[in-house]
Amino acid sequence: MKNFSLPPSEELVPEYIRKLIPYKSGKPISELLREKNLKHVSKIASNENPLGPSPFAIREMTKALWDVHRYPDMHAYELKKSLSELYKLKPNNIILGNGSEGIMSYIVRTFLAPGDEVLTSENTFIGFYILARAVGANLKMVPLNRQFKFDVQKMSEAITERSKIIYIANPNNPTGTYLKKNEFDFLMSHVPERTLVILDEAYFEFAKDHNDFPDSMDYRYDNVITLRTFSKAYGMAGIRLGYGFAHEELIGHFHKIKLPFEPNLIAQAGGIGALQDRPHLERTIENNKNRYKDVIKYLQEKNITPIPSVCNFVTIKTQSSEASNYIYENLLNHGVIVRPLSSNEMPDFLRISLGSEQEMNHFYQSFDFIYQGILNKFGPFEILGNI
């Protein structure tokens, strides 16, 4: 068989693409089973819903399988209708995509060109970094504050006449922290109307019951684009379905560049079913609250201070990047997958998703087994103050 000859990529591929580092997902369960010859694996690395999707969603997706020879409704009328009724919006204010990252890609393709300035924070969702850099935008990043939150004071000071887009993950991944209403109000008071704000609320359902959480639907700024997803609280990460809210003129521009028939038929059906099952969402939130209480108690008994989180994960500071790798690899040997955060420029941190009670017990037992070895090799964990 004749091999492909490599093209002169130095000439064909822009420098900003050559320098990109691809997104690295959490290790798949099947991969670890093969590597370690294990019989049981608990994946608590990717902030997935351990309860899975709603039975209503499964029902609707199963019914839709009989129509996969047909193209989906390009306008996703029924799903947009369900979302518009839930959030009291017009369908023209809604955009759908392959996960919230799919909508982020619409935004950067629509509004950003090489050299445009994007303002965001360090230690936030790396998927957005990749998308912005993939179009040649210049990322201007402000450090998180001592509470591991977006620093609204420094971000407001960093806004210039060249700031085209501001990206805010609220709550933030991978820290689990959130901007309060007064903090969000302060930042928005410094944002010019000409600057777009991407408000990534992927973990909205876990944070919305906090009285000081700034639900973007209470604001409806014309220059704010809200992103949400079915991947987290709705338990449908595998079908890739996200949605966004914005002024209808912005939405209209996205439709010019998005791929037709996206999201697919099965995803649309699953989203409709998921929105019909409020009790399943409530069970998800309740499980998350219970697992959060348990993991905080467990970690504190080990003198480990997690960053306070309103999401379906907690993040801990280890003694060093070497300690993070040691913990990660040794947990893998026990069939537990957590998330090292070197890609987020946080090499001395680990993120632990909140799984089922059984998955978390597997983590506790495995961590107990390696805990003394961690202390012997690296010493006690650092106690985080002022958080």
The rounded distance, in Å, linking the Cα atoms of 243 and 247 is 14
**In the numeric block, which tokens belong to residue 386?**
């002022």
251 phi and psi, to 5 degrees? Answer: -60, -40
**For strand 224-229 and strand 196-200, is the pairing parallel, antiparallel, or unpaired?**
parallel
Q: Decide if 101 contacts 248 (C-beta within 8 A).
A: no
**187 falls in which pLDDT band (50, 70, 90)?**
very high
Q: What average pLDDT does this structure show over 360-370?
A: 97
**384 falls in which pLDDT band (50, 70, 90)?**
confident
**For strand 163-169 and strand 196-200, is the pairing parallel, antiparallel, or unpaired?**
parallel
Amino acid at 94: I
Three-class SS of residue 9?
helix
The residue count for the chain: 387
Q: What is the pLDDT of residue 287?
A: 96
Q: Cα 265 from chain centroid?
A: 23
The rounded distance, in Å, linking the Cα atoms of 269 and 296 is 37
**In the numeric block, which tokens belong to residue 90?**
């017009």
Q: What is the pLDDT of residue 18?
A: 77
Amino acid at 97: G
The rounded distance, in Å, linking the Cα atoms of 316 and 324 is 10
Q: Decide if 319 contacts 383 (C-beta within 8 A).
A: no
Q: Among 228, 223, 158, 171, which residue's Cα sits nearest to residue 197?
A: 223
The rounded distance, in Å, linking the Cα atoms of 198 and 182 is 18
With 60 as the cut, is the pLDDT of residue 1 above it?
no
With 90 as the cut, is the pLDDT of residue 36 above it?
no
Say which residue, 260 or 296, is predicted with more confidence.
Answer: 296
**In the numeric block, which tokens belong to residue 83?**
């979302």
Q: Decide if 387 contacts 74 (C-beta within 8 A).
A: no
The rounded distance, in Å, linking the Cα atoms of 302 and 381 is 9
What pTM did the predictor assign?
0.93
Q: What is the pLDDT of residue 3?
A: 66
Q: Cα 122 from chain centroid?
A: 15
70 phi and psi, to 5 degrees? Answer: -100, 150
Could you give all domains of the chain from N- to C-terminal order, each with its CATH number?
A: 14-51+279-373 (3.90.1150.10), 55-277 (3.40.640.10)
Three-class SS of residue 226?
strand
Q: Decide if 154 contacts 122 (C-beta within 8 A).
A: no
Q: What is the pLDDT of residue 12?
A: 78
Q: Decide if 350 contacts 40 (C-beta within 8 A).
A: no
DSSP tag of 94: E
The rounded distance, in Å, linking the Cα atoms of 26 and 337 is 8
Distances in Å between the Cα of 115 and the Cα atoms of 13, 95, 106 are 16, 26, 18
Q: What is the pLDDT of residues 321-347, one digit of tens each?
A: 999 999 999 999 999 999 999 989 999
